[in-house]
Amino acid sequence: MKKFSFVAPLAACPLSERSYHMQLTRLFYFLRGYLVITVSGRYPERFLNVCAGRHIFIWNTFSCSRHLIRCCISIRGFRLLPPIARKTGVHIKIIEKRGLPIWLNHAKKRKLFLTGLLLCLLFTVLINQFVWKMEIVGCEKLSVTYIKEQLAECGLKVGAFRPRIDEKKIQTKMLLAVPELAWLWVDKTGSKVSIQVKERVMPPDIFDPHDFCHLIASKDGVIDSMVIKNGEPVISLGDTVRKGDLLVSGLILSEKGVDPRQVQSEGSVYARVWYEETKAFSLWVPKTTETGNISKKTTLHLFGLNIPFYRNPSPQYTEFSTTTSERELSLFGYHLGIGLSTVKYAELHTDYEKSTVDSTVESGARKLLSAIDEITPPDATCTNSRWEYTVLDEDTVEVTVIAEYLENIAEKVRIEK
């Protein structure tokens, strides 16, 4: 089927303006109604040329065959076609009536359908006045359940009347009720409410400039280097210190007969600190594969209610992986309180392969080093590490990792007056 554009009255317009004008014209004719017609005859192109010359707008022109053309025309323009059809020797046939007036005319004849449509629209507007879904984003240390409980006490919960929800009042109440929150934002979109939270970063212990402080060791280590800005150091490079030992004194001794001068010690004391971790590892390494058996469990979420489409909530597999997918019914981006969630369970089968002692020790040592690295300060640097192992039995080895880190162990403490 060949399609060709034929809008002669707009030929002098630029392409972008012509396209914009055509879209507006089509929208106008949709609101007023239009017809889909076929033009058959020996020379249907002549018919189109005459229509263009008389400024009769025709669009969506298709050439169905050599002597048959299909196109769209307004109802008013169709009334002007009979003399043109006789002049050009073509036959015109109405294929379909389209547009808003045509649809409304059909709807008037179907009162039951129209009533149902109006009730459906009314129901959609009504259910959008309630909260049917809550989404909380940004929780790290605080649990989502705890935040939901606190929001419920503030009046925001599933089933709440949306126009009565005051976002600013909820923000104020939540920040007062939960000191760990630094910021909270409530966004209402239809029956779905999104809550974004930002947890507070607790500030470190702040010392007043007039406070007098010592620097003590926060952990055991061997002193490697020092940068003292204020205070009297009581240790030397290479000294071994224990947690709590005095490193830099805030009491500076003066000449005999003069009381010691108190200052706020400032500086960094870097020490070599050792960490040790021990754990037993099996030589048997699990290899997990999917068997291909899959089961699905679907739940209908209807206005805050969860309706399961299954009897047994637990899967019938001993080992399995889960994948959850959710679908929500929405209208123009507004959640309607209806959704489906499907949990797919894929059965897994685990086989065990025996690894060598060296491979198991190396893998275990890497895991222990990673665990140690997570508990060290961010500015600490690993300078050395070693590991050793003991074969406990034919299936198990015990790995011990000793890692040396260089870190600042100076910690401020106030001088008791």
pLDDT at 108 over 80: no
The b/e string for 362-384 (b: 16+ C-beta within 10 A; e otherwise) is eebbeebbeebeeeeeeebeeee
For the chain, the straight-line distance linking the first and the last C-alpha, in angstroms and rounded, comes to 98
Tally Cβ neighbours within 10 Å of residue 270: 20
Q: Report, as an integer, the average pLDDT of 84-104.
A: 90
* Residue 5 confidence (pLDDT): 41
Percent of the chain with pLDDT over 70: 90
Q: Could you tell me the CATH superfamily of domain 2-103?
A: ACT domain (3.30.70.260)
Q: Report, as an integer, the average pLDDT of 34-56.
A: 91
* Residue 279 confidence (pLDDT): 94
Q: Report, as an integer, the average pLDDT of 9-21.
A: 53
The CATH number of the structural domain formed by 133-199 is 3.10.20.310
Q: Report, as an integer, the average pLDDT of 247-264.
A: 77
Integer Cα distance of 46 and 91 in angstroms: 13
User: Of the given ranges (157-161, 251-255, 272-276), which has the lowest mean pLDDT?
Assistant: 251-255
Banded model confidence at residue 110, pLDDT cuts 50, 70, 90 = confident
Q: Report, as an integer, the average pLDDT of 347-352.
A: 91
* Residue 336 confidence (pLDDT): 75
Tally Cβ neighbours within 10 Å of residue 29: 21
Domain ranges for the chain, please list them.
2-103, 133-199, 213-269, 284-353
- Residues in Cβ contact with 32 at an 8 Å cutoff, skipping those fewer than 6 apart: 74, 75, 76, 99, 100, 101
Domains 2-103 and 133-199 agree in fold: no
* Residue 237 confidence (pLDDT): 92
DSSP H/E element including 126:
helix 111-127
pLDDT tens sequence across 229-245: 888 899 999 999 999 99
Angle between helices 144-153 and 167-177 (to 10 degrees): 120
pLDDT tens sequence across 297-348: 999 988 778 888 888 877 888 889 999 998 887 776 677 778 889 999 999 9
Q: Report, as an integer, the average pLDDT of 93-103.
A: 88
Closest of 352, 328, 358, 324 to residue 340, by C-alpha: 328
